Amino acid sequence: MEKHERFARTILNGFESYFADFQNITLAAKPRFENSDWQGMHSASTQRIDLYKKKTNKIYEYVELIAGDQLRDFKFWREARESYARLIVGHNNFEIAETFFNSVYCAVFKHRKIRDEHAFVFSPQADIPPVDVNPVFKTYPLEGSLSSLLQQLLQDYRFSCPFENLQRDIESIIGVVESYLLPRFNLAATGVEVQVLEHHFFRNKGAYIVGRIVSGPDSMPFVFPLLKTEGGEIYVDTVLFGSDKVSVIFSFTRSYFMVDATVPSQYILFLQQLMPAKPISEIYSSLGYNKHGKTYYYRCAYRHMKNTTDQFIIAPGIKGMVMCVFTLPSYDFVFKIIKDKFTPPKEMTREQVKEKYRLVKRADRVGRMADTQEFTNLAFARNRFSDELIKELHEVAPSLIEEHGTALVVKHVYVERRMTPLNLYLNDATDEQVVAVMDEYGNAIKELASANIFPGDMLLKNFGVTRHGRVVFYDYDEIVPLTECNFRKIPEARTEQEEMASKPWYTVRANDIFPEEFRLFFSGNQRARKIFDQIHSEIYEVSFWTGLQDKINAGHIEDFFPYRRKLRFNRDMSEVA
């Protein structure tokens, strides 16, 4: 066996080892759910995210030994790539295996000189395997009553622990079908069937049954979220119909699912049919394959750049003190780079900011923090940048910008989905929209805190509004674990001099937080503040924050619902609340 063949096989063995360990962590999700092991579920999620880096680092050690002084020889890598491509022809998961090869390549060359002849910038087979999705879903023909179909379906997807009240849940589902689905979808047609992905999706404290109702050429996506009572019994919390509601379940603002998918692309394609507006890169990431999600994103971004001519511009909104943000008007993503020098009073290093982003990647984002893709040495066409943006980049981050002929290279950048900054959204919002979005803003703060995340700088400009109307936090440079904060009430002034002092007359330590001061985040928008004070005034109280700290320190894991609470079933009255 030639050296480059041994080299290629070692990387493939590394991928197979990674994939097996990934699957093993995932397979343990079902018994964790059955045992209500929520701390274990959270730990396993973090462990699975960390697994990829550990595996690529270990394979790097092996390939370094095998290649010797040829490790950085491009001819050798070209031969290794050709060998690897032959090895994975027909492989069920060749697309993820290609990304693993790329990761080893990038570890050797520090994300430089990435060429398709040396790595899999593009796949010689396809972006996604041409799989048949039929083997991964169960089919339930609607031949009798809907009640009997649901009875069979939920029994097939039961756990070792019993349902709390299965008949009640079936009646609740039928109630939503009658009030919401029937006016939009014909269940009386011939040949109607329900197609359900064969395995549950697990995340946090929930399990999800995902499928669609099919009637001829028409289909309706649905999700059944399953939760557990304190006593360990299962209940259906609601039913969600339609692409938009299902898309929120798989949002880029949430932790990755655990689902037993031995051929992930089969699940990806089925899910993409349910959510045609959601990028496939995000669906890969939502199942835990965030590295391949990054590969898929890059390929789509490259094609978008090739097929458009508009220029990158400075992103709308108030400029940040730490990050410079730019975007392409025709594109649904923003690019964020860390400035060389931060605007006072920000005092931190670039590495500290990176660490905050790593924290977000590994944390439970509970639907309130945007997932990002991190790129090193990302090359753009220089002429696609507006003069104003080029000037800005050279002023605020010259160390991260290199120009090589017609190319502009950004040495380090984060990419995330574009949202409307909350402060801009409020400018044109109706009174009804202000009430809704300020409720969302308060809920975002509270849910982050319940997940042990304190946002730090809660200015309106640091939150965005998604196309679904959800409020999401996206400025991470000041986030810290909530349990590391010391919440205090501002001491009463003892003298007139203390009361009139321009600076605090009392001692303030680095981790001291004064909730009374949070009202300052609304300066300039009294309409928003008035609504917020009516709905979420407890956020200004020290006791609110210390109460959450006590719960977190006691090991409590909060319930986070990726759907509106008003959609939840009323379990006492057997009807939709």
The rounded radius of gyration (Å) of the Cα atoms in the chain is 26
Question: What are the residues facing 213 on neighbouring strands?
Answer: 194, 220
**Range with the poorest average pLDDT among 20-34, 222-236, 504-518:** 504-518
129-142: pLDDT as tens digits: 989 999 999 999 99
For residues 365-374, give the mean pLDDT.
Answer: 93
Helices (H) and strands (E) counted in the chain, each on its own, are: 18, 22
Average pLDDT for the chain: 94
Contact yes or no for 50/362 (Cβ under 8 A): yes
Q: Distances in Å between the alpha carbon of 165 and those of 33, 151, 205, 231, 382?
A: 18, 12, 19, 13, 62
Higher-pLDDT residue of 94, 560: 94
pTM score of the predicted model: 0.93
Identify whether the C-beta of residue 208 lies closer than 8 Å to the C-beta of residue 192: no
573 band by pLDDT with thresholds 50, 70 and 90: low
- Eight-class DSSP state of 181: I
Q: What is the mean pLDDT of residues 537-563?
A: 94
Biggest alpha carbon–alpha carbon distance for the chain:
86
| Confidence band for 522, pLDDT divided at 50, 70 and 90 | confident
pLDDT digits (tens, 9 = 90+) for 187-219: 988 899 999 999 999 999 999 999 999 998 999
Within 88-145, residue ranges assigned H as helices are 94-109
Cα(473)–Cα(253) distance, integer angstroms: 9
Q: Give the per-residue pLDDT at 498.
A: 72
Residues 224-276: tens digit of each pLDDT: 999 999 999 999 999 999 999 999 999 999 999 999 999 999 999 999 999 99
Buried b (16+ CB within 10 A) or exposed e, 248-275: bbbbbbbbbbbbebeebbbbbbbbbebb
Please say whether the beta carbons of 471 and 463 come within 8 A: yes
Instruction: Find out whether 4 and 68 touch, Cβ atoms under 8 Å.
Output: no
Find the mean pLDDT for residues 431-438: 95
Phi, psi of 91 (to 5 degrees): -65, 135
Provide mean pLDDT across the span 295-309: 96
Contacts of 130 (CB under 8 A, 6+ apart): none
Cα(177)–Cα(170) distance, integer angstroms: 11
Q: Are 471 and 438 in contact (CB under 8 A)?
A: no
Average pLDDT over residues 42-64: 96
Return the structure tokens found at 478: 């000041």
513, β-bridge pairs: 487
**Going by C-beta distance under 8 Å and a sequence separation of 6 or more, which residues neighbour residue 554?**
none
User: Does residue 574 surpass a pLDDT of 60?
Assistant: no
pLDDT in tens, 464-490: 999 889 999 999 999 999 999 999 998
Residues that are catalytic: 371
SS3 360: helix
For residues 24 and 44, give the distance between their C-alpha atoms in angstroms, rounded to a whole number. Answer: 10
- Residues 408 and 385 sit within 8 Å (Cβ to Cβ): yes
φ and ψ of 412, to 5 deg: -155, 130
Q: Which helix (H) or strand (E) holds 568?
A: none
Does residue 348 have a pLDDT over 90?
no
* DSSP annotation string for 99-115: HHHHHHHHHHHTT-S--
Q: CA-CA distance, 525 to 440, in Å (whole number)? A: 16
Q: What is the pLDDT of residue 575?
A: 39
Mean pLDDT (whole number) for 302-310: 95
Task: Return the closest-CA partner of residue 43 out of 34, 57, 32, 56.
Answer: 32
pLDDT > 70: percent of the chain: 99
Structure tokens at 382: 């220089």
Integer Cα distance of 156 and 243 in angstroms:
24
